[in-house]
Amino acid sequence: MEYRQLGETDLRISVLGFGASPLGDVFRKTDPADRTAAVHLAVDSGINFFDVSPYYGLTLAETRLGEALQGRREKVVLATKCGRYGGSEFDFSAKTITAGVEDSLKRLRTDYVDVLQAHDVEFGHVQQIVEETIPAMRKLQEQGKARYIGITGYSLKNLMEIAGKVKLDSILSYCRYNLLITDLDQALAPFAKKHGVGLINASPLHMGIISERGAPEWHPAPQEVRDAGQQIVALCKTRGVDASEVALRFCLDYAGAASTLVGLSSTEHVQRNLKAMELHIDAELLREIAEIVAPVKDFVWPSGLAENYG
Ligand code: NAD
């Protein structure tokens, strides 16, 4: 396993990270024994970075990850979030965040998290995030409940606006660097480097679009983007490779992010994604994929408050 430093923190995290949202059954129902085995296999294989949130499965993912990590907590860099508690339930107030972290720690069966991030900040107002949310998170850091803090979200403009106003340790961006979109590299990555902020890239399969199973019902991407994903899947099949593995490998090669978080809840996917680390992507295949993607490349959907789109 390869490890990279997360910005200016002292955390060295695995380039392949365990995204725990599927543990909350957000993509489909998971098998209890298999999801626990998936966590154990990941840790035993050197995956040390785990990302979760109270929002995933409405606390289910945190509870299940906490159970599965019992006895292994000290081997991992554990990240959770605050401020998002439901599909449209956001509260970035100091009071809710402070109380919410206590609940997360109980579910995760630990006294501290390594990274605490305000979740999907484009659904909040920049002024509140900068003047209330982040200072409250710094207090939690002083109390030893979080080793480092940061923000997550979809809008690159919004993430940079906040990070330009207040010092952060980390930023998690999703669906902005993978086979379908690479605009993270033009905007946020140079910005994060310049400001000494650790960058985490999430959703290498574009939240399931680049997979045999395809996108879940709730996926915000339009049909053309989903279709491009399925065309990539079909093309890879004709070349005897798995599209999800190609998609992951493409992200792992990207040095602009410390880790790529892929959603995991089964031993089969942990094994396949570990295997993808050894994959070599043929240049001709990448060129053909780029041709499929060209008409929808860098497509961005609206997310959060209109003032934060971008
Ligand atoms: P993803 O692109 O990683 O896709 C996940 C889906 O792909 C799941 O259904 C999973 O079972 C499936 N999958 C995984 N490996 C596969 C393989 N080898 N073959 C076929 N299918 C495979 O999307 P994601 O789960 O949304 O993103 C990864 C993680 O990043 C999340 O779990 C979460 O931890 C984090 N994330 C955070 C935010 C945020 O903070 N706002 C947003 C998105 C993602």
**Could you read off the pLDDT of 181-221 as tens digits, one per residue?**
999 999 899 999 999 999 999 999 999 999 999 998 889 99
Q: Does 22 contact ligand 1 (Cβ within 6 A)?
A: yes
Sign of the CA dihedral 142, 148, 154, 158?
positive
Q: Is the pTM of this model over 0.95?
A: yes
Domain count across the chain:
1
- Residue 4's H or E segment, with its range, is strand 3-5
Instruction: Provide the pairing of β-strand 16-19 with 49-51.
Output: parallel
Q: 27 falls in which pLDDT band (50, 70, 90)?
A: confident
Q: Is 56 a catalytic residue?
A: yes
For residue 97, CA distances in Å to 24, 77, 143, 255, 272 come to 21, 21, 14, 32, 36
Q: Is the pLDDT of residue 129 over 90?
A: yes
Q: DSSP secondary-structure letter at 84?
A: B
Q: For residue 190, what are the contacts with CB-CB under 8 A and spacing of at least 6?
A: none
Q: Does 80 contact ligand 1 (Cβ within 6 A)?
A: no
Mean pLDDT of 285-310: 96
Query: Which pLDDT does position 153 carry in this prediction?
Result: 98
Q: Which of 173, 205, 259 to mutate to test the pocket of ligand 1 (most atoms within 8 A of CB)?
A: 205
Q: Does 19 contact ligand 1 (Cβ within 6 A)?
A: yes
State the residue for tokens 């892929």.
Answer: 262
Mean pLDDT for the chain overall: 97
Burial of residue 218, with CB atoms counted within 10 A of its CB: 0-12 exposed, 13-18 middle, 19 or more buried = exposed
For residue 90, CA distances in Å to 73, 96, 212, 237, 256 come to 28, 10, 33, 41, 30
Structure-model confidence comparison of residues 26 and 168, the more confident one: 168
Provide the 10 A C-beta neighbour count for residue 303.
17
Q: Is the pLDDT of residue 255 over 90?
A: yes
Phi, psi dihedral angles at 275 (to 5 degrees): -65, -35
Q: Which of 262, 272, 277, 301 to mutate to test the pocket of ligand 1 (most atoms within 8 A of CB)?
A: 262
Domain that holds residue 226: 3-308
Contact 198, 278 (CB under 8 A): no
Spatial separation of the C-alpha atoms in residues 241 and 280, rounded to whole Å: 10
Contact 208, 175 (CB under 8 A): no
* Domain containing residue 232: CATH number: 3.20.20.100
Mean pLDDT of 54-58: 97
* Annotated catalytic residue, options 55, 56, 148, 154: 56
Adjacent-strand bridge partners of 14: 3
266-279 tens-digit pLDDT: 999 999 999 999 99
Q: Report, in angstroms and rounded to the nearest whole number, the Rg of the chain calculated over CA atoms.
A: 18
Phi, psi dihedral angles at 110 (to 5 degrees): -150, 165
91-124 tens-digit pLDDT: 999 999 999 999 999 999 999 999 999 999 999 9
Task: Tell me how far the alpha carbon of residue 215 lies from the centroid of ligand 1, in angstroms.
Answer: 11
Tokens of 108: 């995760």
Q: What share of the chain is helix, strand, coil (3-state, %, to 5)?
A: 45, 15, 40
Q: Does 110 contact ligand 1 (Cβ within 6 A)?
A: no
Adjacent-strand bridge partners of 170: 150, 198
